[in-house]
Amino acid sequence: MLLAATTCVALGYMLANPIAIALESRAPSVSVGSVSHGSLRHGKRLPSRGVNFGAYSLLGLFLGRNTVNGRVRDAVVDAYAELRDSLPMGRFVYGECGWPHGGRFRPHRTHQNGLSVDFFLPVRDERNAVTTLPTWPWRGFGYGWEFDSTGRAGGLHVDFAAAAQHLAALDRAARRHGLAIQLVIIAPEYRRILARSPRGRDVLALLPFMQGKPWIRHDEHYHVDFVER
């Protein structure tokens, strides 16, 4: 009985996102106001998973915290599709996005009008094999990881080369969908590590990274704000 009830609850969680997507309005999304004071009309949810990516939390999906502007959804999905060829072993995890109708999105300061997405840093294990960052609830849905200044935590280390490839692909995909990347927030010490590789240097030159210290460290994820062109 308990097993059946648990299975039903688990199925409900897993089906909530695809059902919500199937019922979405086909009208184009409208982002109103700014990322820090805004709202969203006709928001679109990101898919739960794809060949090389997945969402951070079934609960987040159930609540609709994976909602963005439709153009952002298309850019995010296209970037992952591009990486299937250039980085076939990549295992990416996206994080918090926004509410279906936008607005205040605690505990974030922004994420209000469908143009903000958090991406967890791609990681490798002790054997240097590509793996997926665990985002269990007891890990704060991924946000509870504390990576050190070199990008290491609990036997995992950040794959900065893959992060740079993802950001470059995201920039290209954003342009294809009438967007631009307006801001990238990542721990300042990680900008210095990115600068050591040619691809990372290109990304640092190309994209507007927040200079200075963000209000939270951003050691396990990078935050991206898009803007419509």
| Residues that bind Zn ion in the complex, under the rule CB under 5 A | 118, 223
Q: Computed from CA positions of residues 108, 210, 164, 127, in that sequence, does the dihedral angle turn out positive or negative?
A: negative
Q: What are phi and psi of 106, to 5 degrees?
A: -65, 145
Q: How far is the CB of 90 from Zn ion (least distance, A)?
A: 21
Closer of 31 and 199 to Zn ion (Cβ): 31
Q: How far is the CB of 122 from Zn ion (least distance, A)?
A: 17
Residue nearest to Zn ion (CB): 223
Q: How far is the CB of 66 from Zn ion (least distance, A)?
A: 13
Place of tokens 């704000």: 225
- Radius of gyration of the chain, Cα coordinates, nearest whole angstrom: 17
Strands (DSSP E) along 106-150, which ranges? Answer: 116-120, 123-124, 130-131
Closer of 80 and 105 to Zn ion (Cβ): 105
Closer of 81 and 183 to Zn ion (Cβ): 183
Token representation of residue 158: 């950040």
Closer of 16 and 35 to Zn ion (Cβ): 35
Q: How far is the CB of 109 from Zn ion (least distance, A)?
A: 8
- Which one, of 155, 196, 132, lies nearest residue 147 by Cα? 155
